[in-house]
Amino acid sequence: MRNLFVFHLIIVFFIICCSKTEHDDQFFERIAKDLNGELLSHNVSIIDKTKDNQIGIIILNKNGHNIGERCFILIFETDEDKRFLTGHNFQVDIIYFNEGLIIRQIGSRDIYYLGLDDYSSTFWINTLKSSYNIDFENILLGYSISSHQRVIEVPDELPSIRSIYDLFTDLNISETAIDTHDLKGTNCSSGGPGSSSCSIEDVWSGCSVSCKDGYYACCESGKNVCRCVKERQSLPTK
């Protein structure tokens, strides 16, 4: 009788585990569909230490682990506590939607939220917690979140670099300071002062960016660059 009871416990435990696994497999698919977001499951390299206070999630080409084909970049105003996934060539699930990124490493229950430091992120974080019972491992909020479709060189040893943009193979060094504040002589093909987001699309490449209040989105088709520019403060009138 005791052996039969133990056997039933084992069967129940097996069913619960299988049901949980099935739920996990479909979990991100359901969230992505509900958010009208893009679901990606790829090997990535993640760089979370740059002098320009950035996190870069580089999606690797399936034919070569040292070549990236897309990159998501979150930029902070200051040197934040960036407790996040880091490393080279490991698999994650990513949901990319208008307000940010939801990321989970395959084989882990830890889920991260990356977005803008504004009211929209607060709304989505609370919605995801209540509707999907997500307990985020960490929430990372910055002033700019962008997606870039282009060739990216990824070294085996992830360096401590000034900017993620330095890895973009089709940008000159002089053009990599594309996330600086109050840039002069900007030529926004899309976006511009007053715009919170913009995007450009080419045959082989493209990018998009969303910005928090106090910044405007600027997308330049000539350079294939999408960034946030700090709005100039008006001087007080006497």
In the chain, what is the greatest distance between 2 CA atoms, to the nearest angstrom? 91
Residue 24: what pLDDT? 63
Do 214 and 143 form a contact (C-beta atoms < 8 A)?
yes
Render the burial of 67-101: b for 16+ CB within 10 Å, e for the rest. ebbbbbbbbbbeeeebebbeebeeebbbbbbebbb
Residue 178: what pLDDT? 46
Q: What is the mean pLDDT of residues 63-92?
A: 82
Q: What is the mean pLDDT of residues 124-140?
A: 91
Residue 12 has pLDDT above 90, yes or no: no
The whole-chain average pLDDT of the chain stands at 78
For the full predicted model, state whether its pTM sits above 0.75.
yes
Report the candidate in 112, 93, 121, 95 with the shortest Cα–Cα distance to residue 38: 95
Residue 182: what pLDDT? 46
Residue 123: what pLDDT? 92
181 pLDDT band (50/70/90 cuts)?
Answer: very low
Q: What is the mean pLDDT of residues 101-120?
A: 90
Residues 6+ apart with CB under 8 A from 124: 99, 100, 113, 115
Residues 6+ apart with CB under 8 A from 136: 111, 112, 113, 125, 128, 129
